[in-house]
C-alpha cells in the first residue's frame, strides 16, 4: 500500500516525486540546486584567481631579484679586477647571468596579465570556482619555478664570475648552465599557460551568471 511506500521514502505512483526527493535529501530540489550553484559559483573564485596572478608575478620578481643580486655582486668584483688589468670586455660577459635572471620576471608578468584578462572577460558569464583554483595553481607553478630558477642563476653567476676573474675559459660552460637553469622557469610558464587555457574552457562550459537570474 501507499503507507509502505511512504515509510521507505518512495513517492506513490501518480506524483509526489518532489516530496520524495525532499524527504531523502532534507531540502527541496530547487533549494538544493541553488546551494550547489552557490558552491560552484562562490565569490571565493575571484579571491583564488587574483591570488594566482599575484603569486605568479610576486614570486617571479622575487626569484629575479635574488638572481640579479647574487650574480651582480660578483659581476662588479669581476669588472673591478679586470679594469686594472686592462680587460674591460669581461664585464659584458659577466652581465649575462643578470640578464637571464631579469627574464624571469617577464614570465610572471605574462601569467599575471593573462589571468587578469581572462577574469575580466568572464565578468558577464560568471567566474566558477574551478577556474579560480586553476588560475591559483597557474600562478603558483610559474612563480615557484621562477623563484627556484632565479636562485640557481644567482649561484651560477656568482661562482662563474669569480672563476672568470682567473680564467676566461669558464664563460662557455657558464652559458650552458644558465640555459639549463632558465629552462626550469620555461617549463613552469608552459604549464601555467596550459592551465590558464583549461580554466577558460571550464568557465565557458560552466557559466555562472548571477544567482538572481536563476533563483526561484
User: What CA–CA distance (Å, rounded) separates 1 from 184?
Assistant: 70
CA dihedral 44, 47, 53, 59 (to 10 degrees): -110
User: What CA–CA distance (Å, rounded) separates 38 from 34?
Assistant: 6
Query: What percent of the chain clears pLDDT 70, i.e. is strictly above it?
Result: 73
User: What CA–CA distance (Å, rounded) separates 194 from 114?
Assistant: 11
pLDDT at residue 100, as a whole number: 94
More confident residue, 49 or 165: 49
User: What CA–CA distance (Å, rounded) separates 66 from 101?
Assistant: 8
For residues 51 and 136, the answer to whether their CB atoms sit within 8 Å is yes
User: What CA–CA distance (Å, rounded) separates 58 from 112?
Assistant: 9
Q: How many residues does the chain have?
A: 216
Give the lowest-confidence range in 33-37, 71-75, 93-97, 189-193: 33-37
Tens of pLDDT, residue by residue over 48-64, are 999 999 999 999 999 99
- Give the CA angle between residues 139, 143, 149 to the nearest 5°: 150
**Alpha carbon 50 to its chain's center:** 10
Tell me the pLDDT band of 183, cut-offs 50, 70 and 90. very high
pLDDT at residue 14, as a whole number: 45
User: What CA–CA distance (Å, rounded) separates 10 from 121?
Assistant: 46
**DSSP summary character for residue 11:** P
Tell me the pLDDT band of 207, cut-offs 50, 70 and 90. low
CA dihedral 151, 155, 157, 159 (to 10 degrees): 180
53 grid coordinates: 596572478
Tens of pLDDT, residue by residue over 3-49, are 444 444 444 444 444 454 455 555 555 444 445 555 567 778 889 99
Amino acid at each position: 500500500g501507499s503507507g509502505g511506500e511512504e515509510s521507505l521514502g518512495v513517492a506513490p505512483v501518480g506524483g509526489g516525486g518532489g516530496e520524495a526527493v525532499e524527504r531523502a535529501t532534507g531540502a527541496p530540489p530547487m533549494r538544493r540546486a541553488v546551494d550547489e550553484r552557490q558552491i560552484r559559483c562562490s565569490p571565493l573564485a575571484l579571491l583564488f584567481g587574483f591570488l594566482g596572478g599575484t603569486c605568479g608575478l610576486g614570486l617571479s620578481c622575487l626569484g629575479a631579484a635574488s638572481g640579479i643580486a647574487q650574480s651582480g655582486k660578483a659581476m662588479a668584483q669581476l669588472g673591478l679586477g679586470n679594469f686594472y688589468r686592462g680587460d674591460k670586455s669581461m664585464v659584458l660577459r659577466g652581465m649575462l647571468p643578470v640578464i637571464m635572471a631579469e627574464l624571469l620576471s617577464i614570465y610572471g608578468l605574462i601569467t599575471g596579465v593573462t589571468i587578469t584578462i581572462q577574469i575580466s572577460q568572464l565578468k558577464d558569464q560568471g567566474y566558477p570556482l574551478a577556474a579560480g583554483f586553476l588560475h591559483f595553481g597557474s600562478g603558483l607553478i610559474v612563480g615557484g619555478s621562477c623563484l627556484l630558477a632565479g636562485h640557481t642563476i644567482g649561484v651560477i653567476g656568482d661562482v662563474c664570475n669569480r672563476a672568470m676573474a682567473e680564467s676566461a675559459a669558464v664563460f662557455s660552460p657558464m652559458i650552458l648552465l644558465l640555459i639549463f637553469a632558465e629552462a626550469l622557469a620555461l617549463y613552469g610558464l608552459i604549464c601555467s599557460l596550459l592551465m590558464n587555457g583549461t580554466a577558460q574552457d571550464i568557465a565557458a562550459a560552466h557559466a555562472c551568471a548571477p544567482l538572481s537570474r536563476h533563483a526561484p
